[in-house]
Structure 1
Amino acid sequence: MGSGVSRQVERRKALTVERRKLYDLHQSCGEDFPACAFRPSDRKNWMDDLHPEKLQICKIVWPGTHDSATDRIGIPLVTRPFAQCQTLSVYRQLVLGCRVLDIRVQKDRRVCHGILVSYNVDVVINDIKKFLSETHSEIIILEVRTEYGHDDPPEFDKYLVDHLGQFLIHHNDNVFHKTISEVLPKRIICIWKPRNSPNPKNGSPLWNSGHLKDDWINTDLPSTKFESNLKYLSEQPPVSARKFFYRVENTVTPRPDNPVVCVGPVTKRIHEFARLFITQCFSRGIADRLQIFSTDYIDEDFVDACVALTYARAEGKA
């Protein structure tokens, strides 16, 4: 009993130190990067506003969401706080400006996060279709994966092609250097990551797991995650030189050995430091590597930061 209490005291001390590190860094460095004050006039159509005929796919800083379809996961006020990473529906996230979706499924095609389940993936597909019907030049990266510990939905690759085929941008390494206008009217880069089924082949309508990479570390300590993100990002080639998307997630996650196990209060330890992260990318000379930037509880300022850097790249300012 005593050792358990001692561990928790040490963890609380570590958390206090980690938060202070980020606040001190923010105090000394601020949030200053090229075009950081830019705000899109219409977040729902922000790609369309940035001249699709000029904006290359690889130069976009894609605002994304972590565990995107968890707005209605579990039982409200009972299990939901332990797994909910977004409060907005997929459609509302897209309207807000999100352009990368992280969808986890289980064998029966229901969306899940760990052992908790939500609606059928049809809800996600319908939300995407609704958004695409209301816009003209917005491109979405849709990552669908079988959740850890679950079996693949049968013939799920066929399901995705059947339901999204008219929108799918087929795999081709040349896509990275094409402009948005050059891939239209196709609108979705769909990355399917099964656990046991065969991966999509190169050149198929679906992209395989090798085309979206990240370096996830499981920690609830914000400075540890912040510095890990910078370290792994620094090891990547610049966006202009790689043939895959690389994601950085501005999130921390609850740990079972910590009394605080609800997603909200834990991930908020790092949530406010997204602009600081972009600023540090410039300070450390790795801003040309940042591409997909994801978060829990996406908000307008997070989207604006990603769009601002995209705008700076499009205008030759970054």
Structure 2
Amino acid sequence: MGSQVSKQLERRKAIDAEKKILADLFESSGDQFPGSDYHPSDHKTWMAGLDPSKVRVRDILFPGTHDSATDKIGIRFVSRPFAQCQSCSIYRQLCRGARVLDVRVQEDRRVCHGILLTYSIDLVLDSVKRFLSETTSEILILEIRTEFGHDDPPNFDSHLSDSLGDLLIHQDDHVFDKTIAELLPRRVICIWKPRKSPAPKPGGPLWSAGYLKDNWIDTDLPNTKFESNMKHLSEQAPVSSRKYFYRVENTVTPQADNPVLCVRPVTDRIHPYSRLFISQAFARGFADRLQVFSTDFITEDFVDACAAVTRARIEGKC
């Protein structure tokens, strides 16, 4: 018992030390970057506000949500706090400005996070279609993967293609160099990541796993995650020469050996430092690698920061 308590005390010290490192970095360096004072007038249509004829896909810093469809996961007040990474619906996330969705499914097409279940994938698809019907020039990346430990839903590629139809932007490496206006009326880059089923074919309506990459590190230590994100970002080619999307996730993850297991208090260790990460990417010379930036519990300020980078790129400020 004593050794367990001692271990927990050491873990708390390590977490507190890492939180202090980020707080000190913020205090000494700030979180300003080129164009960082920009705030879209309407988060629901922030892409349209930047002029779709000028916004190339490669210029966009896409704000995304991690484990997007978990607002109703599990049982409220019982299992939900251990798996909920977003507190609002898919539709509300899109209205707040999110443009990358991360959704995990199991065999029966229900969304899941580990062993916990929530609504059908069709609710996600209907929410996407509702949002797109209410806007004219917003594009988004919809990533759907089979959750670890589960089998792929049968005939799921056909289901996605049939459900999203003409909204789908077909796989084409030239997409990265096109403007939003050139892609319209197609609006959705749908990346399907099955575990065992065949991957989507080149040129088809769905994009394969290799088109959205990341380097996930499973830790609840905020500075460890911050610096790991920075290291892996620095190793990427600039957005202008890439033919895939690269994601950085401003999140940390509850660990089984720590008594704090609820997502929100753990992710709050890094959540306030999204602008700091962007400013440090500029300071260290890696800002031209930023392309997808995701978070738990997305806020409008997080979206503002991504929109600001996008606008600065369009205007030649970075």
TMscore range, shorter length: over 0.9
Cα distance between partner residues in 1 of 2:202 and 2:34? 36
**How far off is 1:166 after superposition?**
1.1
Q: CA deviation at 1:165?
A: 1.4
* Residue matched to 1:55: 55
Distance 1:107 1:291 in 2: 31
Match of 2:125 in 1: 125
**Alpha-carbon separation, structure 1, partners of 2:46 and 2:310:** 10
Structure 2 counterpart of 1:253: 253
1:95-142 CA-to-partner distances (Å, cap 9, x unmatched) read: 000000000000000000000000011110110000000000000100
- 3-state SS of paired residue (1:246): strand
Pair 1:190-2:187 in alignment: no
Q: Aligned AA for 1:167?
A: L
User: Structure 1 segments of 4 or more deviating over 4 A?
Assistant: none
Aligned residue for 1:241? 241
How do 1:97-116 residues align onto structure 2 when only pairs under 5 Å count? Answer: 97-116=97-116
C-alpha displacement of 1:55: 0.8
Counterpart check, 1:283 vs 2:283: yes
1:43 partnered with 2:70? no
2:314 alignment counterpart: 314
Equivalence for 2:151? 151
For 1:148 and 1:58, how far apart are their aligned partners in 2?
30
The SS at the match of 1:5 is helix
Where does the alignment leave 5 or more consecutive residues of structure 2 unmatched? none
Per-residue displacement from partner, 1:141-165 (whole Å, max 9, x unpaired)? Answer: 0000000111100010000000001
The sequence identity of aligned pairs, in percent, is 66
Cα distance, 1:46 vs. partner? Answer: 0.6
Q: What is the aligned partner in structure 1 of residue 268 from structure 2?
A: 268
Give deviations 1:65-100, integer Å, cap 9, x for gaps.
Answer: 000000000000000000000011000000000000
**2: distance between equivalents of 1:79 and 1:86?**
14
Alignment gaps of 5+ in structure 1: none
- Corresponding residue SS for 2:297: coil
What is the letter of the counterpart of residue 256 of structure 1?
A
Cα offset, 1:2, TM superposition: 2.1
CA distance in 1, matches of 2:27, 2:131: 39
Letter paired with 2:314: A
Q: Normalising by structure 1, report the TM-score.
A: 0.99
Give per-residue Cα distances to partners, 1:209-242, cap 9 Å, x unaligned.
Answer: 0000000000000000000000000000000001
Please list the CA deviations of residues 264-292 of structure 1 after superposition, one character each: whole Å capped at 9, or x if unmatched: 10001000000000000011000000000
Aligned to 1:135: 135
Query: 5 Å matches for 1:61-80?
Result: 61-80=61-80
Deviation (angstroms), 1:200: 0.4
Shift of residue 167 of structure 1? 0.3
Alignment partners' CA distance in 1, 2:2 and 2:107: 43
Letter in 2 for 1:163: S
Report the RMSD for the aligned CA atoms in angstroms.
Answer: 0.5
**Deviations 1:4-40 (CA, angstroms, capped at 9, x unpaired):** 1121111001001000000000000001101100000
Distance in 2 separating the partners of 1:86 and 1:287: 26
Alpha-carbon distance in 1 for matches of 2:273, 2:289: 18
Look up the SS of the partner of 1:269 in the other structure.
Answer: coil
Q: Distance in 1 between matches of 2:165 and 2:256?
A: 41
Question: 2:228: which partner in 1?
Answer: 228
